[in-house]
């Protein structure tokens, strides 16, 4: 068997187009332009690239983009003051603080200062609680992107066995909550899980969010299963070049799986597309307008 390749790049482009269509209508019918503020503290090169592409795609979708680049030595007090200003600004519907923050700043404190209604990353404790109790919330972008891919592929996830490898607050845990919300039977695996290979072999849906290059081989995959590889790992090849690989050994897994996301081009592009979708949703909610269907959990 050769797995169907799930084209996250094309799917993300469709989401961005859909978001842009809604944004154009909001502007024409309600004079409303959704706005996303991204706060970057310090000069981490990877973070600068992420923030750059978030800003670019925000503008391409017709939204307002506000970038706040602060020096690495910014104090907690000053950063919280920036967030307070953004919370109070009616032109800003979404606020994202790029992580990781420099070590002298308390990420939890900073994230929990964001107005939960503007927390488009879905990391505020209120949104975590709302998601955990099955209530309307802002949903973390990467797991939301995975859910969209899975719904598109399967229609219903009801009763399917889903295994999520990884239990981080950013990916693993919210992913498991979303799968549970769609009535999958969910197992969360992590570094202490016994017989991980066996656990994975029971999965109709296998989500890998570990951060270990090609850790999951094809013989851990149930024939016909759907494999969603969240991992983004840069490795050096024997020729001395660098390339990106996932947490799944793509070649061997693609011979067994029914469908699989590649790295790059699978889950990665969905993350920013979902950030735009969340900003649109936040703008609609803030203005008492119906939120677009199919762009939230």
230 binds ligand NDP (CB under 6 A): yes
CA distance 80 to 6: 40
Q: Count CB atoms within 10 A of the CB of residue 85.
A: 12
Binding mask of the shown chain, residues 181 to 200, with x at each position contacting ligand NDP by CB under 6 A = --------xxxxx--x----
CA distance 285 to 282: 5
Q: Which of 40, 139, 209, 254 binds ligand NDP (CB under 6 A)?
A: 209
167 binds ligand NDP (CB under 6 A): yes
Instruction: Scan residues 9-38 and list those touching ligand NDP (CB under 6 A).
Output: none
CA distance 54 to 127: 22
Q: Return the range that interacts with ligand NDP (CB under 6 A); candidates 36-44, 54-62, 209-217, 282-290.
A: 209-217
Eight-state DSSP code of residue 72: T
With residue 5 as reference, give the H or E element that holds it: strand 4-5
Catalytic residue among 57, 98, 115, 249, which? 98
Catalytic residue among 54, 118, 173, 222, which? 54
267 binds ligand NDP (CB under 6 A): yes
Closest CA to 8 of 200, 246, 212: 246
Closest CA to 83 of 53, 121, 112: 112
Q: Which of 142, 177, 226, 281 binds ligand NDP (CB under 6 A)?
A: 142
Active site residue 135: no
- Contact assessment for residue 150 and residue 124, using Cβ atoms and an 8 Å cutoff: no
| Residue position matching structure tokens 């229609």 | 155
Catalytic residue among 57, 115, 118, 121, which? 121
Active site residue 54: yes
202 binds ligand NDP (CB under 6 A): no
170 binds ligand NDP (CB under 6 A): yes
In the complex, minimum distance from the CB of residue 144 to ligand NDP, in angstroms, rounded to a whole number = 11
H helices of the chain, in order, are: 8-30, 45-60, 76-88, 107-111, 125-132, 141-154, 172-181, 196-201, 250-254, 268-286
In the complex, minimum distance from the CB of residue 114 to ligand NDP, in angstroms, rounded to a whole number = 18
Q: Which of 101, 165, 199, 228 binds ligand NDP (CB under 6 A)?
A: 165
Nearest CB to ligand NDP, comparing residues 147 and 165: 165
124 binds ligand NDP (CB under 6 A): no
Question: In Å, how far from its chain's centre is CA 133?
Answer: 20
- Contact assessment for residue 24 and residue 292, using Cβ atoms and an 8 Å cutoff: no
Lookup: tokens for 186: 């969910």
Nearest CB to ligand NDP, comparing residues 192 and 293: 192
Nearest CB to ligand NDP, comparing residues 50 and 184: 50
Q: Omega of the bond prior to 85 within 30 degrees of 0, cis? A: no
- Contact assessment for residue 191 and residue 223, using Cβ atoms and an 8 Å cutoff: no
271 binds ligand NDP (CB under 6 A): yes
Active site residue 98: yes
In the complex, minimum distance from the CB of residue 81 to ligand NDP, in angstroms, rounded to a whole number = 28
Active site residues: 54, 98, 121
Binding residues for ligand NDP, rule: CB under 6 A, are 142, 165-168, 170-172, 189-193, 196, 209-212, 230-233, 267-268, 271
């Amino acid at each position: 068997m050769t797995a169907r390749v799930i084209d996250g790049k094309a799917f993300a482009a469709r989401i961005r187009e859909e978001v842009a269509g809604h944004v154009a209508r909001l502007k024409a019918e309600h004079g409303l332009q959704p706005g996303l503020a991204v706060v970057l503290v310090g000069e981490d090169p990877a973070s600068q690239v992420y923030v750059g592409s978030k800003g670019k795609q925000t503008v391409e979708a017709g939204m307002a983009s506000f970038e706040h680049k602060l020096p690495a030595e910014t104090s907690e007090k000053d950063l919280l003051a920036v967030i307070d200003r953004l919370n109070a600004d009616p032109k800003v519907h979404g606020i994202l603080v790029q992580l990781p923050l420099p070590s002298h700043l308390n990420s939890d404190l900073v994230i929990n200062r964001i107005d939960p209604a503007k927390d488009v990353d879905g990391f505020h404790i209120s949104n975590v609680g709302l998601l955990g109790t099955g209530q309307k919330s802002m949903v973390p972008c990467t797991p939301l992107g995975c859910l969209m891919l899975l719904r598109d592929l399967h229609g219903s996830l009801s009763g399917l066995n889903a295994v999520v490898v990884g239990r981080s607050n950013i990916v693993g845990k919210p992913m498991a909550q979303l799968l549970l919300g769609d009535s999958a039977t969910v197992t969360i695996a992590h570094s202490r899980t016994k017989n991980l290979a066996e656990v994975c072999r029971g999965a109709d849906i296998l989500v890998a969010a570990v951060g270990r290059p090609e850790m999951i081989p094809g013989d851990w995959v149930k024939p016909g299963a759907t494999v969603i590889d969240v991992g983004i790992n840069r490795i050096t090849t024997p020729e001395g070049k660098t390339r990106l690989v996932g947490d799944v050994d793509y070649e061997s897994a693609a011979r067994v799986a029914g469908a699989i996301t590649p790295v790059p081009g699978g889950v990665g592009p969905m993350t920013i597309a979902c950030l735009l979708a969340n900003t649109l949703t936040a703008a609609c909610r803030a203005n008492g307008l119906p939120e677009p269907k199919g762009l939230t959990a």
